Amino acid sequence: MLEKKPDYPLRFAIKGMIPKNRLREEILARRLFIYPGAFHPHFKQGLPQFMEQDPNDINEEFDYGKMVERRHNYKVIFESDPNDLPEEFADVERDIDHTIGDPIALEKKTHTTPRSNTR
């Protein structure tokens, strides 16, 4: 189906967001323009051309790993799988909070004042 109608999933999703009435098909026909590929002909109106973006490297974004002496500023506070840790975090200090997965009902109340019988 995607080979015959590549714009169908997007058109179907947008159609589901429009109010269900008699004008629905007319609104789609007049106002929805889907162009295949990364470029469209509306650049003269100032609309940007959307192209595939380069993936961001989180290590470069936070300046991590370039200077070894700055690694002490970072801590691992949660890890989903301690047995499968990425190699970038092999020498980083761990300060794991083991109460993250506990149910809320088991948490201890910290910001309450005890009731007193005096008024």
Q: What is the DSSP string of the chain?
A: -TTT-TTHHHHHHHHHHS-SSTTHHHHHHHH----SSS--S-GGGTPPPP-PPPPP-HHHHTT-SS-GGGGGG-EE---S-TTS--GGGTTSEE---TTTTS-GGGSPP-S-----S--
Average pLDDT, the chain: 77
74-85 tens-digit pLDDT? 776 666 777 777
* pLDDT for position 65: 58
Identify the pLDDT of residue 52: 62
Q: What is the pLDDT of residue 24?
A: 93
Span 44-68, pLDDT tens digits: 888 877 766 666 776 677 666 555 5
Distance between CA 47 and CA 42 in Å, rounded? 6
Residue from 13, 7, 1, 16 nearest 34 by CA: 7
